Amino acid sequence: MTTSVHAARRLRVVRAGRVALLAAAVFFVATTLAGLRDTSIIVNGVDRWLGNCFSLAAGVMCLVRANLVRGERAAWVAIGAGLLCYGAGTIYFTTRVANRNPQLSPSLADAGWLLFYIATYVAVILLMRKRVSRFHPSVWLDALVGALGVAALASGLAVGAIGKVRATNMSTVELNLAYPLADLMLLVLVVSVFGLLGWRLERVWYLLGGSLIIFAAADTVVVGEVASGHYSPGGPVEVLWALALVLPAYAAWQRPSREKTEGLVGWGVLAIPAIFAIAALGLLVFGAVTRLPPVTVTLAAATVLAALVRTGITFAEVRQLAETKLQARTDELTGLANRRGFFERLNGLDSGAGAGARRFALLVLDLDRFKEINDSLGHPVGDDLLKLVGRRIAAALRPEDLLARLGGDEFAVLLEDADAAVAKMVAERVLATLEGPFEVGAVTLHVDASIGAALYPDDAVAASVLLQRADVAMYAAKAARSGVEYYQPGVDVHTPDRLDIIEALRSGLGEDQLRVHYQMKIDLRTGGCHAVEALVRWEHPTKGLLPPDVFLPLAEHTGLMRTLTLEVLGLALGQSRRWRDAGLDIGVAVNLSASNLLDTAFPTEVADLLALHGVPARALEFEITETALMLDRIRTAAVLMALREMGIHIAVDDYGTGYSSLSYLRELPVDILKLDKSFVMHMDSDPGAAAIVQSTVGLAHSLGLRIVVEGVETESTMRRLAEFGCDLAQGFYLGCPQPAEELTPLLWHRNDHRLSAGCAALAVESVEVEVEVEAGRDAVAEPVRAGHTWT
């Protein structure tokens, strides 16, 4: 509080001083103008001493400002010191020179006056640097153009003035020419600030510029009078000097700027070189009809040449700026529009849309399991794949459509003048063009994509909301594996929780939060249970037990499936060990993600886990989907062969829903086919589905493979599967997923019943621990229906 009071008092004192200074200036101007009629007032009047003291008072005002206000202190100290030097020179001239010789002549007073220009030059540079964070190299070339232009004009002015003066006055005229030249140089510097920062600057620059203009006008008048031999102290020149000295003091007490600018605002920066280039051309044209000194012509030509160089640099900078602007909106990897360019186009459509405006659609495309390819094969392979994907998508679009890469493996397509039918046509065409294999170096890759579509204005009327809803639809397509999904109101209810779930899962892996529920697989020849399927659950710290459709699609999309699969494998092998210790000789089967199949170090990790839990390799079975097999068949075959050589069995999961190519059954080390439940569940009502199941069973047996079917929901389905010769079956009719402690008594019951019936012992089958990748499949364990039998 005390500090603010003192500051307020100081400010009142300074304001009073400024008022007194202004009053003195007004009094001085009035008496000087009166002296034009009565010279005795000038000779004996008080106004001469007031004029002499103006620079001293102005200097003191600048120094007081520097002492009271911290901002820009050095600059105002420099100006204050310069004004004091100017005042000292004026007093010396009045007391020692003017009374003896009213004509101007070189003296010690000139030293004080010239020091003012040096100090002011330093102050202007300090003030400019305070406001401009950086100088472009071309600014120095602008300064060269200005300096050469000033020199050319000054040399012409000097020759014209010197040509009219007597030899005895030559030194005086040459010295006095330095003052308008210095004024002009300072004025060029101040005007350059306007070119750098724009014309809407704080008042200090207008006051300083006005002061220098007045100085230049007064000094030019003096040079003419000295050259003609008619100079006498007093008159209007004294008025101009007084005003020029008062303005810096008022400039010192303007509010300083608190912000810096990058400089080079608009075309104003070219004002100085343009003005002096035109002036130099004028001198050259004038020299064609009038004899000018060689030095003037040389300086004018140099000014024009420097201005031409500056113009060339300007055009190069403009072209570079255009290229930089284009690069700022272009994805460096694919050459497509980037996120910034896409949003500019989208926001342009959004801001230009109104009542009756045209419709447009937005597609968001994301590659499935791209992170696994990127992590396993390396970023160069991933980058090359993205380039090829971008080219294929672009080939499937219309000429007016905009394709952009938003980041990673996410692309966006903006369809102008498009409705739902056009969006569907383009989306299906994009998916079709991505179906073929991609040759990336020596690797052949297959990729799938999920597309989400949203329409303007049906789904949203704001660009950001439209993109969010297309993203929601894309995640729905990824979860459902449907390829394309369109935004439906209400499907994004849990969108805000997605990031929380991902981060919680990332931190929860390895923290004993995963749970495995087992579902029995029944041997249809004996009725015994030699295998179970286990579905992973997640014990969320706050949300409780979550089904797989909530977190597995997110884990796959964010690259957490590899870690999750290894943790589930450890849990399964641990349970297998406990069953073996209890007398149940049951193996385990675990689904592999695509990242495991592309990881050459994975077989070593499996061997370590088998050794850790003491489970033989023959009791372990891995299940892989057809889609995962097709990502990179060469690398996948190498990993599977390494696992097979260890004695581990390989099964193809969800057979019939992917590529269903017979070639990989011949090329890859496969032992078991697991037919997808979509065929089995419709056997009772669809003869075609029953025919597919029967033919698949025959195919598997003819290839020497075992066959497992999912989705057994009725007794009639189970009997027909037994008639077809199916090996193993599972479904809610045969048993629901349960924790291991609840399932163990049922395993004893089924195996004891089989032994008591005198059935021959079978080879050790497998307990399948399946990490569900399909969202919604067997998401919640259903209770065993009443009336189900266990025989």
Q: Which residues are catalytic?
A: 710
Tell me the residue length of the chain.
791
For residues 236 and 567, give the distance between their C-alpha atoms in angstroms, rounded to a whole number. 95
The secondary element (H helix, E strand) that includes residue 298 is helix 294-328
* Degrees, nearest 5: CA angle 496-502-504: 105
> Which CA distances in Å does 41 have to 23, 30, 35, 448, 532?
19, 11, 5, 99, 120
* Degrees, nearest 5: CA angle 564-570-575: 125
Tokens of residue 655, six digits: 């057979």
Helix-then-strand count for the chain, H and E: 28, 17
Pairing type for strands 360-367 and 438-440 reads unpaired
For residues 423 and 426, give the distance between their C-alpha atoms in angstroms, rounded to a whole number. 5
- DSSP letter, residue 393: H
Which residues on adjacent β-strands are paired with residue 621? 589, 649
For residues 722 and 693, give the distance between their C-alpha atoms in angstroms, rounded to a whole number. 12
The count of other CB atoms within 10 Å of the CB of residue 417 is: 12
Contacts of 291 (CB under 8 A, 6+ apart): none
Pairing type for strands 360-367 and 410-416 reads antiparallel
- The helix, strand and coil proportions of the chain, stated in percent and rounded to the nearest 5, come to 60, 15, 25
Tokens of residue 21, six digits: 């200074």
Q: Give the residue among 10, 114, 120 at the shortest CA–CA distance from 76.
A: 120
Tokens of residue 767, six digits: 């307990």
Q: Angle between the 47-68 and 236-252 helix axes, to the nearest 10 degrees?
A: 10
> Which CA distances in Å does 22 have to 565, 624, 779?
85, 92, 87
Contacts of 651 (CB under 8 A, 6+ apart): 589, 621, 622, 623, 624, 670, 671, 672, 673, 674, 708
Contacts of 603 (CB under 8 A, 6+ apart): 639, 642, 643, 646
Q: Are 454 and 486 in contact (CB under 8 A)?
A: yes
The label of the residue with tokens 């002011």 reads 120
The secondary element (H helix, E strand) that includes residue 708 is strand 706-709
Tokens of residue 527, six digits: 């009725």
Q: Give the residue among 361, 524, 520, 372 at the shortest CA–CA distance from 447.
A: 372
The number of angstroms, rounded, from the C-alpha of 104 to the middle of its chain's C-alpha atoms is 66
Q: Buried b / exposed e across 67-104, counting CB within 10 Å, b at 16+?
A: eebeebeebbbbbbbbbbbbbbbbbbbbeebbeeeeeb
Q: Give the residue among 774, 780, 770, 701 at the shortest CA–CA distance from 520.
A: 770
* Degrees, nearest 5: CA angle 45-50-55: 150
- DSSP for 535-557 reads EEEEEETTTEEE-HHHHHHHHHH
Phi, psi dihedral angles at 549 (to 5 degrees) = -70, -15
For residues 642 and 601, give the distance between their C-alpha atoms in angstroms, rounded to a whole number. 10
